[in-house]
């Protein structure tokens, strides 16, 4: 069942009769009549049913049912929209996982926000969620970064060694070196005459400092992690040898051309992959295997990887690893996050992490603010390229979607404030506060009496209907890994409220229309719950 695109067709529609007709060996129209007779006619909350050729079933719900669902907004309050579908299921969501060798680019910000919002959505569906950042502190790139740091660090003491030819931007590396120099002085120079340096300490401290910068950047957009997992830890305490032994004992590897290969084609991958090169060094794929094995050992039922646009090849290989170690087919999910393009007016702005030029994620947050960054990054599906319109994100008008949604929440706040400041014949400040705070008395008495209410116009009914959909949106956003379901819903709810407010009188002749006040406050509560999922503020005034 879904909402029809044309509201005139009803509240809900289903094409079940057409989908099932060939299996049940009945004509769609006949099957639609049978579905109506055996199922829909027995649902007490269905008002009317219309069967339309070639087999669509459209139906409307009773106003009483919609209003009864509105009572849950108040009785459940901050938990309205949540469900327990994931209770008892442990899920790990890994995202961003940028090499700690430079500033985060705009794409990292998008994946960070979407990973954080997706984690919130899974929590709202009852899952036990762990957010994890995988730190690539082991391997070639970490070594190159350390060499860059070492070169600029020694330069501070008048010692010149060549800067790596394919090194990282000196501006980025220089920031790390300045802090190393300030905090540790010449501590890492063990013997100046023979130029002996503590390279391991330089690398570790440089990586740690770069990680602290990354954490600060992510924190500025509200992205926090439960665990920062170091790739280097995979190679401690004979973990690597233990993993290889496991793979050999289970017949998952073979030797060829002096290298050790993983039988990934046996588990759906397009080719077998090298684990240990001919020179005896492990590949990145070896880390992938050990990391996924580690996740399984930690007891996660489901694993979600959110990876960059250049990681399509990881889908089959990670799933192959999961299957080979006994995980269910659906236990490992890989989401590929597409790229972001910054635009301002007609100009496309440059972004470059490697070259150290263009706008960074830090720059973006300072320019448009945290709320705009989070909302805009959540507006599209993971697999969609997006243009981030800087001009639009800075506008203080209804053209800006995040402003439009936040303004709806603030507008209701202003209405409530006004009602509390004036003397009304039928309601006082105490009663308004009871509605706001979802008090037990209000929920049991006032909402109970309102269940008999008949909507006076479509704008009242439409607003109540959209409010009743929020739990379904939260559920669907989880099942489809789609944070943008939440932004789309909030934008729709805001539109319904703005229309409702512009076409209905809430205060007239020193009396408040209680039903409309209840609708407005319900909208405010649901807007707040939705903005909380997005990690965006819900202002009381703007």
Residue matched to tokens 């030797």: 255
Q: Give the pLDDT of residue 182.
A: 96
Separation CA 243–CA 288 (nearest Å) = 11
Q: What is the 3-state secondary structure (H, E, C) of 84-126?
A: CCCCCCEEEEECCCCCCCCCCCHHHHHHHHHHHHHHHHHHHCC
Residue 438: the pLDDT is: 75
Looking at residue 515, what is its pLDDT? 87
Give the pTM.
Answer: 0.93
Q: Which CATH number fits domain 398-534: 3.40.720.10, 3.40.50.300, 1.10.10.10, 1.10.730.10?
A: 1.10.730.10
pLDDT in tens, the chain (542 residues): 999 999 899 999 999 999 999 999 999 999 999 999 999 999 999 999 999 999 999 999 999 889 888 888 988 999 999 999 999 999 999 999 999 998 888 999 999 999 999 999 999 999 999 999 999 999 889 999 999 999 999 999 999 999 999 899 998 899 999 999 999 999 999 999 899 999 999 999 999 999 999 999 999 999 999 999 999 999 999 999 999 999 999 999 999 999 999 999 999 999 999 999 999 999 999 999 999 999 999 999 999 999 988 888 899 999 999 999 999 989 999 999 998 999 998 888 876 554 545 788 999 999 999 999 999 999 999 999 999 999 999 999 999 999 999 999 999 999 999 999 999 898 888 888 888 887 656 655 655 555 566 789 999 999 999 999 999 999 999 999 999 999 999 999 999 999 999 999 998 888 988 889 999 999 999 999 999 999 999 999 99
| Per-domain boundaries in the chain | 7-61, 140-205, 398-534
* Domain 7-61: assigned CATH number: 3.30.1360.70
Q: Which two tokens stand for residue 107?
A: 């794409």
Q: Tell me how far apart the alpha carbons of residues 375 and 406 are, in angstroms, rounded to a whole number.
A: 11
If you search the block for the tokens 């919002």, which residue do you land on? 117
Q: Which helix (H) or strand (E) holds 56?
A: strand 56-61
pLDDT for the residue numbered 380? 96
* Bridge partners for 343 per DSSP: 348, 389
């Amino acid at each position: 069942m879904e909402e029809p695109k044309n509201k005139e067709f009803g509240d809900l529609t289903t094409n079940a009769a057409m989908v099932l007709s060939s299996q049940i060996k009945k004509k769609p129209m006949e099957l639609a009549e049978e579905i109506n007779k055996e199922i829909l006619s027995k649902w007490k909350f269905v008002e009317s049913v219309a069967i339309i050729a070639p087999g669509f079933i459209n139906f409307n719900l009773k106003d009483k049912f919609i209003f009864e669902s509105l009572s849950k907004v108040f009785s459940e309050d901050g938990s309205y929209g949540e469900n327990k579908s994931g209770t008892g299921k442990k899920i790990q969501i890994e995202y961003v996982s940028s090499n700690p060798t430079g500033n985060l680019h705009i794409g990292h910000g998008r994946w960070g926000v979407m990973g954080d919002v997706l984690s919130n959505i899974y929590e709202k569906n009852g899952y036990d969620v762990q957010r994890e950042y995988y730190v690539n502190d082991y391997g070639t790139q970490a070594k190159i970064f350390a060499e860059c740091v070492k070169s600029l660090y020694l330069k501070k003491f008048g010692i010149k060694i060549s800067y790596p030819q394919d090194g990282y931007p000196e501006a980025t590396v220089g920031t790390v070196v300045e802090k190393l120099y300030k905090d540790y002085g010449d501590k890492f120079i063990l013997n100046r005459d023979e130029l002996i340096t503590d390279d391991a300490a330089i690398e570790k401290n440089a990586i740690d400092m770069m990680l602290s910068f990354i954490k600060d950047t992510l924190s500025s957009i509200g992205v926090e992690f439960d665990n920062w997992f170091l790739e280097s830890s995979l190679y401690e305490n004979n973990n690597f040898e233990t993993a290889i032994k496991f793979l050999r004992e289970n017949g998952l590897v073979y030797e060829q051309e002096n290298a050790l290969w993983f039988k990934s084609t046996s588990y759906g991958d397009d080719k077998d992959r090298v684990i240990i090169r001919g020179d005896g060094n492990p590949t990145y794929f070896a880390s992938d295997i050990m990391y996924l094995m580690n996740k399984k050992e930690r007891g996660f039922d489901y694993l979600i990887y959110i990876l960059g646009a250049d990681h399509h090849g990881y889908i089959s290989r990670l799933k192959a690893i999961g299957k080979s170690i006994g995980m269910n087919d659906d236990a490992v999910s890989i989401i590929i996050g597409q790229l972001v393009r910054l635009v301002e007016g007609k100009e496309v702005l440059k972004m470059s992490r490697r070259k150290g030029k263009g706008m960074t994620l830090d720059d973006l947050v300072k320019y448009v603010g945290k709320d705009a960054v989070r909302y805009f990054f959540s507006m599209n599906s993971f697999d969609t390229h997006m243009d981030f319109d800087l001009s639009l994100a800075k506008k203080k008008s209804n053209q800006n979607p995040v402003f439009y949604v936040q303004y709806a929440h603030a507008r209701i706040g202003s209405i409530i404030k006004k009602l509390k400041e004036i003397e009304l014949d039928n309601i006082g400040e105490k009663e308004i506060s009871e509605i706001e705070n979802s008090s037990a008395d209000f929920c049991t008495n006032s909402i109970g009496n309102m269940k008999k209410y008949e909507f006076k116009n479509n704008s009242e009914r439409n607003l109540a209907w959209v409010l009743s959909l929020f739990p379904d949106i939260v559920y669907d956003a989880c099942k489809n890994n789609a944070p943008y379901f939440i932004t789309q819903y909030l934008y729709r709810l805001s539109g319904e409220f703005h229309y409702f407010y512009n076409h209905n009188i809430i205060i007239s002749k020193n009396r408040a229309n209680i039903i409309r006040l209840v609708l407005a406050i319900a909208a405010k509560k649901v807007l707040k719950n939705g903005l909380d999922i997005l990690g965006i503020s819900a202002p009381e005034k703007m």
